[in-house]
A and B are shown apart, each in its own frame.
Chain A
Amino acid sequence: MNYLRLFGVYFRLSVMNELAYRVNFYIQLFQSVVELATALTGLAVIFSYTSTLAGWTANEMLALVGVYFITGGMIGLVIRPSLEQFIASVRDGTFDFTLVKPEDAQFLMSFQIVNIWKLIDIVMGFAVLTTALIRLGSKVGAGQAVGFGIMLLTGTIIIYCFWLVLATLSFWFVRVENILVIFQSMYEAGRWPISLYPGWLRFALTFVVPIAFATTVPAQALTGHLTLETLIGALTAAAVLSVVSRFVWRIGLRRYSGASA
């Protein structure tokens, strides 16, 4: 499909672009290691006082941290840099160049930048996840692994749709780059299992800012706590959000081009 080919071109361009700044590799490595150390230290402090947190053991929490880094890495790999670039391009007018191209503008702007160093986060996340699974002594069967893979993908799609809606707001409001910062801090909430939060917050983190699907749900798939309802719920949410976000995008485009509402 042409979209795959286009993504390949974007990927190649980004790789070449980034290779010009190899120092970024070390910077990213440093930052990711510090972030991981912070998360693990935090866990250590908490688990020095208790053996379970909202029903999750230390090793299950470790698995959650692993998933947190994997999904965070996937977001930072393509979604975040591309959408940030999109928001900037709306502000400085270069988005017009994208609009004038004979390809779907949403696709073009969603994949335009690939921050390859974020692969470090993904690798690190898998390392932590593997460690956690080993310590849990759990046998991860094919079914669980597939379930995990699907939930991970589903979670990423959900997050992408969410980011898309946020980014589309830049068609209405000028200083929107801060909005993406909200996500970053709300994503922090994903380091903790959803069952920890009181009902209203759990609701917010599932249905308003769908963090739960990014971290807790895939982790549950691996630790064996994933219910069929949650699985179906996640898939439905991904499907619905894809449609809704696409719709919001199209409305945003109409607004940008001054079409009557």
Chain B
Amino acid sequence: MASASIHVQNLHKTYVVSKRESGVLAALQSLVVRQTEEIPAVDDISFHLASGEVVGFLGPNGAGKTTTLKMLSGLLHPTTGEVTVLGYVPSKRERAFLRQITLVMGQRNELVWDIPALDSFELNRAIYRVPPTDYRLMLKELTELLELGPLLHKPVRNLSLGERMKCEIAAALLHRPQVVFLDEPTIGLDVTMQRRIRKFIAEYNRKFGATVLLTSHYMADVEALCRRVIVIHNGKLLFDGELASLVQKFTAHKTIVVQLDDVQADMHSYGEVVSREDGHITLRVPKAETARVTERLLANLPVIDLLVEDPPIEEVIERVFAQESA
């Protein structure tokens, strides 16, 4: 308990929404009677994070990732279950707790639109009561790490999406939080910017030892940053462990990429042909067969190059979800 910075036990969150069908009759009916249904957004989730871990929360839209994050940051009360972060119960929203965490939401901005980002930073400084020297140091660090120099004095509305995101992240970290919650931080950004932000998060974690919980539906985010992955689907926790073992556990196949001299060769007896392009043929074979198929390929065909890979993680995740829905 002492070393677990985030502690989640049997967490449930159920929403009650009103149900209504289309049509004028139903509209009039809803005036009198309100029909509701219960939707479980988070369904019995448990996990523990040690201080300084970087963990990825993976799952499709509507899986319950954001809901879980909100419960961890105190924005939502759980329906049942226990949550503690840094020893605090988040929903109590104690000041001491809030001062040590931060929340970055990829799709929403908190920076004031028409003024330079630096001025919004000042606001956060006042709210978090960051001492002047600490603030100046932190600002310098963040400016360097995120390359904010020319951006700080421009009105936020004049910044590109990626530049804005960098400023949002900086604003969220000025008070050097111990726990960082990131909700889809790279969404909508171009590949270079995504990479840069991932690099920054890793740096921040290394430098300040903060615990980072990142939700995403981009595999690349998780691959680059997190050794540990928690997979959520339909509110249920499907997997909690190392990324590598996720791949191992949920895939029954391997991918063989073969480059042949004879492009027209018939590959069907070797395995499922996934694609043929530029002389590279991608085959999907059952894991157990990999060695045997490889042997046969090398023996029977004019192979120039051969590569055995794990299937792309997206495929793995899809399979995990498919298993769950099935």
Contacts and interface: CB of A to CB of B under 8 A. Distances in A.
Given A17-B112, A20-B114, A99 B13 contact: no
B122 interface: yes
Given A258-B76, A260-B77, A20 B155 contact: yes
Interface in A246-261: 254, 257-260
Secondary structure dominating the interface of B: mixed
Interface string A80-117: 00000000000011101101111100001000000000
Interface in B137-171: 155
Interface in A3-39: 5-6, 9-10, 13, 16-17, 20-21
Contacts of A260: 77, 79
B110 A97 contact: yes
A102 B123 contact: no
B5 interface: no
Contact of A17 (B98, B110, B115, B122): B115
Given A100-B98, A102-B95, A259 B77 contact: yes
A94 to B, nearest CB: 5
B74 interface: yes
Contact of A6 (B70, B98, B126): B126
Interface residues of B, number: 35
Interface residues of A, number: 26
Contacts of B74: 99-100, 257
B119 A16 contact: yes
B108 A97 contact: yes
B198 interface: no
Nearest to B171: A97
Given A96-B103, A102-B99, A13 B70 contact: no
22 contacts: A9-B122, A9-B126, A10-B123, A13-B119, A13-B120, A17-B114, A17-B115, A94-B108, A96-B108, A97-B103, A97-B108, A99-B74, A99-B75, A100-B98, A100-B102, A100-B103, A101-B98, A101-B127, A254-B77, A257-B76, A257-B91, A260-B77
Given A13-B119, A100-B73, A259-B77, 13 more contacts: A13-B112, A13-B123, A93-B108, A97-B105, A97-B108, A100-B102, A100-B103, A101-B127, A101-B128, A102-B97, A102-B99, A102-B127, A254-B77
Interface of A: 2, 5-6, 9-10, 13, 16-17, 20-21, 92-94, 96-97, 99-103, 108, 254, 257-260
Interface of B: 13, 15, 70, 73-77, 79, 91, 93, 95-99, 101-103, 105, 108-110, 112, 114-115, 119-120, 122-123, 126-129, 155
